[in-house]
Amino acid sequence: MEKNIKKLISKMTLDEKASLSGGGSFWRTKGFPKYGIPEMMLTDGPHGLRKQDETPDHLGMNESIPSTCFPTAAGLACSWNRGLIKEVGTAIGEEAQTEGVQFVLGPGANIKRSPLCGRNFEYYSEDPYLSSQLAANHIQGIQSQGISASLKHFAVNNQETNRFNIDAVVDERTLREIYLASFEGAVIEGRPWTVMAAYNKINGVFCSQNKRLLTDILRKEWGFKGFVVSDWFAVSERDKALEAGLDLEMPISAGVGKSKIIDAIKKGSLSETTLDASIERILRVIFKISDLKRNGISYNKKNHHSLAKKAALESMVLLKNEDKVLPLSKKGKIAIIGPFAKKPRYQGAGSSRINPNQLDIPFDQIKKLAPDAEITYSQGYSLENSDQEVNDGLISEAVEVSQKSDVTVIFAGLPEMYDMEGRDRKDLKLPSLQNTLIDQVCKVQKKTVVVLTNGSAVEMPWINDVKGVFESYLGGEAMADALADLLFGENNPSGKLAETFPKQLNQTPSFINFPGEKDKVEYREGLFVGYRHYDKIGIEPLFPFGYGLSYTDFKYSNIQVDKRKLLDTQELQVSIKVKNIGKRTGKEIVQLYVKENNSSVIRPLKELKAFKKVELEPDEEKSVRFTLGKRAFAYYDVSLHDWHVKSGKFEILVGKSSRDILLNETISVESTVKLKKKYTLDSTIADVMHEPAAQAIVSMIISSTERSNTDSLGIDRESVLGGIKLSSLVAISQGKYTQMKLNNLIKSLNKN
């Protein structure tokens, strides 16, 4: 095939090749029947298929054909269930095959830098390991159906404000350890056939023109073999983008892109070989997909709806359950408050918006599950009308209904405009009317449960007054059915937060520098994103990363490691036991974090390095095993341009959440990489003291000097002297140690 592609390209004219490197129409590539090159259709993603027939747009304004709407990534991520996410990807791939779509634009592996980002609902997590694992499985699922996933938005696309032009200024280590790591794992393990370059700039260079990003890192370092597609209308300098490694410009450019490529080749600033290599990458994927095309297939809508329910069940997070207010009894009087109970929010706004096959309504599902209960509804607040008087009336009516009930369930959450492509939120607050409603209801009803629908974290000023809180995120078309099951205990909640919920906005890591000034945003919090920040600063969040309750309980025990000392080239096996000590079957997400002890590099207090979700019946106990490789202990060393482990002790922490660590073991890892240091006269005594040749000489010089009064102050003399430059040794020894001897010492140290 490869040989034929090359031959085919050699027959194509420059004009034809330049045309193929841009879209043929809004959602399609250009076909060349005379060469047997088919037109291909690209469609959003990521949590379902948004195939538009007529009047295309990339902002989600016009209707698309019906498809299954799965929970958005923010919720899906809380399942921490790789297999489930793969199943969802597979279902989306199957729908794409059915509908004649060849590329699904997603998943999104951008990190949740701030809970304010309007598109957080489309992203998985604040943690790169979790995000990359889930994205990889999503990709594998889609591609198992012969459809290409387009991993997006590569990279550092973490805000919507000024999204087309913003320059994300990020230091190299943060870039590697946080923002790129999320894509790296997804590319290496998921092997997407296409990657979408983001709109923004990174350190001054647009992603779509960023050679380092698209060629050096993506292709050369990570081994990406597919082609890079632009985000819609992202490209302005088509020739430069091509040179950088951007293969397909989408959607159409009315011939502008094509002319730029042709002119640059004619002028000699771009080589035709570069264009040929890019066309080859595009064709390789197109032909692969064509070979995998299945005609005349259909998918089972009912099964996909059931899968959407299964995904929603695992995506919802039980945040509070005081006095076991949940599960609800199916008898008695239940008050249901809030318009989201009748008109649910189940997805975000923008290009990912889906026209669902079948939408379940929470109020109906609740009634269906509890036919013997006396269920009353009251609106409580208006989403459309913010008139205080109107709402005061609605609130007092809801209070009255709540007062007469045994338990009240309030549906609260963010209106659609808050979780939206193209816009960031200004704060983390729910609309104030909802907070007032919850306050007022809690005054008359002790058993109040809040069900939240939102794409990202919200503040909960009423948290101490309510008995129960369910975070349902944006749960897709079957969210209502899943929620009713969880409320009444037909199913056991098993989701855990994939992001931290802060108590208030000003505690968030990027608070001071989000969304930046003019067209620049500096990532000054560096590595300390999400729980890495809250841990290091010592702030108690509202709900920590990895947290979520169940209707049963789990006991952790017996941590075992297969070695206490290892080289960074070896793997470490860790196992623990987890037992269901409650009365119901449940699923537990076991999380493994690694902490470096006494590190000389600045590191987070701990980082997620492995996780597993296990299902356990009452009294059942299972062993959970993890394998950790070098990367689990490494940081990105900017001078080495590589991941590096510093020899030393590491703690293996296993627990129920980032703030509930139950088991712990300490091991040592030794680096096999010898760091070459360059010593100069400006190096310090501490720098050389580990070198045997220096040790003896330096100790001798120091001990022959007068003892300073630091000893009597109880200060460690070595550490005070450690900061002194080597150049001072001649003076300290009063000339006994000559400059020539010192120069020779430095020379010999540098030889080693």
Would you say 232 or 547 has its CB closer to ligand BGC? 232
Nearer to ligand BGC, 184 or 231 (CB): 231
The sheet carrying 205-206 orders its strands as 205-206, 201-202, 167-169, 520-522
Q: How many CA atoms lie within 13 A of 5 on its CB side?
A: 15
| Residue 101 C-beta: closest distance to ligand BGC, Å | 13
| Residue 205 beta carbon to ligand BGC: minimum distance, rounded to whole angstroms | 19
The residues, ordered by sequence, that sit 6+ positions from 731 with a Cβ below 8 Å of its Cβ are none
Q: Which is nearer to ligand BGC, 250 or 663 (CB)?
A: 250
Q: What are phi and psi of 638, to 5 degrees?
A: -70, -25
What residues contact residue 331 under an 8 Å CB cut-off, 6+ apart? 370, 372, 373
Interacting residue with ligand BGC among 127, 160, 231, 249 (CB under 6 A): 231
CB of 58 to ligand BGC, least distance (A): 3
* Close Cβ partners of 9 (under 8 Å, ≥ 6 residues apart): 17, 276, 279, 280, 283
What residue spans of 370-431 are helical by DSSP H?
Answer: 388-403
Which of 123, 232, 299, 556 binds ligand BGC (CB under 6 A)? It is: 232
User: Residue 151 or 187: which CB sits closer to ligand BGC?
Assistant: 151
> Smallest gap, in angstroms, from Cβ of residue 106 to ligand BGC?
7
CA triplet 378, 382, 388: central angle to 5 degrees? 110
Contacting ligand BGC within 347-376 (CB under 6 A): 351
- 448 is a site residue for ligand BGC (CB under 6 A): no
Closer to ligand BGC at the Cβ: 111 or 694?
Answer: 111
Q: Is 248 an interacting residue with respect to ligand BGC (CB under 6 A)?
A: no
Cα-atom radius of gyration of the chain, to the nearest Å? 29
Is residue 651 within 8 Å of residue 664, measured between CB atoms? Answer: yes
Residue 477 dihedral angles phi and psi, to the nearest 5°: -70, -25
Q: Strands, E, within 302-387: which ranges?
A: 317-321, 333-337, 355-356, 374-378
The token pair at 49 is 């298929």
Q: Which is nearer to ligand BGC, 82 or 112 (CB)?
A: 112
One-letter amino acid for residue 299 of the chain: Y
Catalytic pick from 44, 167, 231, 247? 231
The 65-104 site mask, x for binding ligand BGC (CB under 6 A), equals ----------------------------------------
Q: Report the residue closest to ligand BGC, judged by CB.
A: 58
Q: How far is the CB of 593 from ligand BGC (least distance, A)?
A: 32
Minimum distance from residue 359 beta carbon to ligand BGC (Å): 22
> 746 is written with which tokens?
């430095």
From 30, 152, 258, 447, residue interacting with ligand BGC (rule: CB under 6 A): 152
Q: Which two tokens stand for residue 520?
A: 């620049």
d(C-alpha 624, C-alpha 611), whole Å? 9
Min dist. Cβ of residue 59 to ligand BGC (A): 7
Q: Write out the two tokens for 126.
A: 């604040």
Q: What are φ and ψ of residue 603, in 5° steps? A: -135, 155
Q: Is 77 exposed, middle or buried (0-12, 13-18, 19+ CB in 10 A)?
A: buried
Query: x/- binding map, residues 116-135, to ligand BGC, per CB under 6 A?
Result: --------------------
| Nearest-approach distance from CB 328 to ligand BGC, in angstroms | 39
Asked if 334 and 366 count as a contact pair (C-beta separation under 8 A), the reply is yes
**Residue number with CB closer to ligand BGC (62 or 98):** 62
Least distance in angstroms from the C-beta of 150 to ligand BGC: 7
Nearer to ligand BGC, 224 or 232 (CB): 232
Nearest Cα residue to 552 out of 294, 279, 327: 327
Instruction: Identify the H or E element spanning 559.
Output: strand 554-561
Per DSSP, helices labelled H in 160-237 are 172-174, 181-190, 211
Residue number, 232 or 554, with CB nearest to ligand BGC: 232
Total of chain residues touching ligand BGC, rule CB under 6 A = 7
Residues 352, 44 contacting (CB under 8 angstroms): yes
Does residue 323 have an active-site annotation?
A: no
Work out whether 44 is an interface residue with ligand BGC (CB under 6 A): yes
**Which CB atom, from 151 or from 608, has the smaller least distance to ligand BGC?**
151
Q: What DSSP designation does 521 have? A: E
Minimum distance of ligand BGC from residue 465's CB (angstroms): 39
Instruction: Select from 103, 108, 137 the least CA-distant residue to 47.
Output: 108
The string over 679-689, giving b where at least 16 C-beta atoms fall within 10 Å of a residue's C-beta and e elsewhere, is beeebbbebbe
Q: Is the dihedral angle over the CA atoms 428, 420, 140, 234 positive or is it negative?
A: negative
What is the C-alpha separation between 201 and 529, in angstroms, rounded?
Answer: 20
Q: Which of 28, 58, 238, 467 binds ligand BGC (CB under 6 A)?
A: 58
**Closer CB to ligand BGC, 231 or 239, in the complex:** 231
For ligand BGC, the binding residue among 91, 105, 701, 721 (CB under 6 A) is 105
DSSP-assigned letters across all residues of 274-288: HHHHHHHHHHHHHHH
Nearest-approach distance from CB 752 to ligand BGC, in angstroms: 52
Yes or no: say if 285 and 193 are a contact pair by the CB < 8 Å rule.
yes
Q: Give the burial class of 178: count Cβ atoms within 10 A of its Cβ; 0-12 exposed, 13-18 middle, 19 or more buried.
A: buried
Contacts to ligand BGC by CB under 6 A: 44, 58, 105, 152, 231-232, 351
| Residues annotated catalytic, as ranges | 231
